[in-house]
């Protein structure tokens, strides 16, 4: 295993540091799990046994950070019955399949989902696993952590939960929800077993009840207290659809953000997914409290949920990152593509000048890092963790666009596969392939598992 890596002669190094530095024909020197230097001709500073990666014709960026996902859904992509359904109908049908998941299936799904993220520029991901079928042994998050370790990805899963089944006014079957006590006990177990508070941790845990319409209020309140006791972050879906807004009005006689404030779910340790249906006063409230938002444009388009006022939020000072959302509502885990869709969708809302490519790239790396609470990833600066990606733009999809190779990453391209990904100082994607696992085996086992799961539920 190399302890030093010298990335040589990159066409551009886009640092996404405070000054927005972009260096032409530059090197990046990595020692151990940290970036030591960037600049021209660093070979003289590199140790003799340093591994060299020629980056001619490549753009070097900080790795992207995925702020919202449901990896288990990777086994239920493009399911015919729900291809054209909106959120509540989509959920009700898919729960019939998802009630069959178990640790082995989650492990397979996570290898696919995290593998896809790695290949599309993501070096740190969260996950939101909120469904724990009574028929499984409950070690589902353990299974996805195992997959992340195998792939070499920095991973910050959230322990999700649902406590409101059909018999208590929820949408889900009773056999996939848990009691308040079961939820709290498993959160404690996962924190003790996996959460690493160190700044260079490869695994951290956050707590994340599924959504306002899926858990009891007391569970939301107690999880916030538990997270704050352990200095963990909090996550949930919020203001995704108008159906949710109506549900909150009926159940609590409040708007979703109003309810979140009442139960202590605003703050700089909280980030929400989606936030599509929000008014100007609520945006101001999020900015003042530094409550973060994971913008998930592909999912919002796919489910017809609406267009989140993302530019407005960024301008107001709301911390914003990007998320692919679950693989059943995207139906890819392509984070680089998500940055492109964020740019395009905001232009539908606000015109061509609404947002530029660099702002979207910045949200994808640095914005995501801030949302998940890391101040040492998402930018290429000396001392930061060595999580960087290399993208070869000497390809047909970028031909003719090299007057601005950084912006071209979002405007052009025929594929979103990165050429190299380095995480914590180790190469995990090499020449466009996952370096530590056999992709073909993962694809084969995922296809078998998905077919069996969908067939069992009678929804193929």
Query: Smaller CB distance to Zn ion: residue 300 or 421?
Result: 300
CA proximity to 110, closest of 191, 214, 203, 212 = 203
Structure tokens at 418: 């990165």
Q: How far apart are CA 106 and CA 143, in angstroms?
A: 6
Of 134-142, 257-265, 323-331, 424-432, which segment contacts Zn ion by CB under 5 A?
323-331
Query: Smaller CB distance to Zn ion: residue 278 or 428?
Result: 278
**Cis peptide, bond prior to residue 438, ω within 30 of zero:** no
Phi, psi of 254 (to 5 degrees): -145, 160
Q: How far apart are CA 232 and CA 205, in angstroms?
A: 7
- Count of chain residues binding Zn ion (CB under 5 A): 1
Q: C-beta of 348: minimal distance to Zn ion in Å? A: 22
What is the chain's length?
460
Query: Smaller CB distance to Zn ion: residue 342 or 410?
Result: 342
Q: C-beta of 237: minimal distance to Zn ion in Å? A: 5
Helix (H, G, I), strand (E, B) or coil at 376: coil
Query: Smaller CB distance to Zn ion: residue 139 or 328?
Result: 328
Q: How far apart are CA 157 and CA 171, in angstroms?
A: 24
> According to the binding rule CB under 5 A, does residue 31 interact with Zn ion?
no
- DSSP code string of 253-318: SS-HHHHHHHTT--STTEEEEE--S--HHHHHHHHHHT-EEEE-HHHHHHTT-----HHHHHHHT-
| Contact with Zn ion (CB under 5 A) among 31, 325, 331, 338 | 325
Query: Smaller CB distance to Zn ion: residue 30 or 275?
Result: 275
Q: C-beta of 382: minimal distance to Zn ion in Å? A: 36
DSSP H or E run through 34: strand 34-39
> According to the binding rule CB under 5 A, does residue 338 interact with Zn ion?
no
Q: C-beta of 442: minimal distance to Zn ion in Å? A: 23
> According to the binding rule CB under 5 A, does residue 331 interact with Zn ion?
no
Query: Smaller CB distance to Zn ion: residue 94 or 390?
Result: 94
Residues 354-393 that bind Zn ion (CB under 5 A): none
Query: Smaller CB distance to Zn ion: residue 325 or 338?
Result: 325
Neighbours of 21 (CB within 10 A): 15
- Contact flags string 146-175 toward Zn ion, x per CB under 5 A: ------------------------------
CA proximity to 435, closest of 25, 10, 51 = 51
Q: How far apart are CA 411 and CA 398, in angstroms?
A: 9
Of 139-147, 320-328, 402-410, 447-455, which segment contacts Zn ion by CB under 5 A?
320-328
Q: C-beta of 217: minimal distance to Zn ion in Å? A: 20
Q: How far apart are CA 151 and CA 429, in angstroms?
A: 9
Query: Smaller CB distance to Zn ion: residue 282 or 325?
Result: 325
Binding site for Zn ion (CB under 5 A): 325
């Amino acid at each position: 295993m190399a302890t030093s890596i010298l990335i040589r002669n990159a066409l551009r190094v886009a640092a996404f540091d405070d000054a927005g530095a972009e260096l032409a024909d530059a090197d990046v020197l990595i020692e151990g799990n940290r970036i030591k230097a960037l600049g021209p001709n660093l070979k003289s500073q590199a140790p003799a046994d340093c591994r060299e990666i020629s980056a001619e014709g490549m753009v070097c960026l900080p790795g992207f950070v995925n702020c919202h996902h449901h990896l288990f859904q990777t086994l239920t992509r493009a399911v015919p019955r729900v291809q054209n359904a909106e959120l509540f109908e989509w959920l009700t049908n898919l729960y019939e399949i998802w009630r069959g998941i178990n640790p082995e299936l989650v492990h397979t799904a996570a290898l696919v989902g995290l593998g896809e993220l790695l290949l599309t520029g993501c070096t740190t991901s969260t996950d939101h696993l909120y469904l724990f079928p009574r028929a499984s042994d409950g070690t589902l998050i353990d299974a996805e952590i195992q997959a992340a370790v195998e792939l070499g990805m920095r991973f910050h899963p959230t322990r999700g939960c649902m406590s409101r089944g059909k018999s208590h006014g929820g949408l889900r079957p009773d056999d996939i929800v848990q009691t308040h006590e079961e939820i709290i006990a498993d959160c404690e177990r996962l924190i003790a077993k996996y959460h690493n508070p160190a700044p260079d941790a490869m695994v951290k845990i956050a707590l994340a009840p599924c959504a306002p319409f899926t858990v009891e209020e007391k569970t939301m309140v107690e999880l916030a207290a538990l997270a704050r006791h352990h200095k963990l972050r909090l996550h949930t879906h919020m203001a995704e659809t108008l159906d949710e807004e109506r549900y909150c009005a009926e159940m609590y006689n409040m708007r979703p953000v109003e309810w979140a404030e009442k139960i202590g779910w605003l703050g700089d340790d909280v980030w929400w997914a989606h936030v599509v249906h929000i008014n100007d006063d609520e945006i101001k409230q999020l900015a003042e409290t530094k409550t973060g938002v994971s913008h998930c444009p592909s999912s919002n388009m796919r489910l017809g949920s609406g267009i989140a006022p993302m530019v407005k939020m960024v301008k107001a000072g709301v911390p914003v990152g990007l998320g692919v959302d679950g693989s059943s509502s995207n139906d890819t885990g392509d984070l680089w593509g998500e940055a492109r869709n964020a740019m395009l969708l905001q232009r539908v809302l606000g015109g061509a000048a609404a947002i530029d490519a660099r702002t979207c790239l910045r949200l994808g790396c640095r914005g995501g890092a801030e949302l998940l609470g890391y101040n040492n990833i998402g930018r290429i600066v000396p001392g930061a963790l060595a999580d960087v990606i290399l993208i070869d733009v000497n390809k047909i999809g970028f031909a003719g666009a090299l007057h601005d190779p950084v912006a071209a990453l979002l405007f052009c391209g025929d594929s979103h596969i990165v050429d190299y990904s380095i995480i914590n100082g180790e190469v995990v994607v090499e020449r466009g392939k996952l370096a530590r696992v056999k992709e073909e085996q993962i694809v084969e086992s995922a296809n078998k598992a998905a077919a069996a799961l969908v067939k069992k539920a009678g929804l193929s």
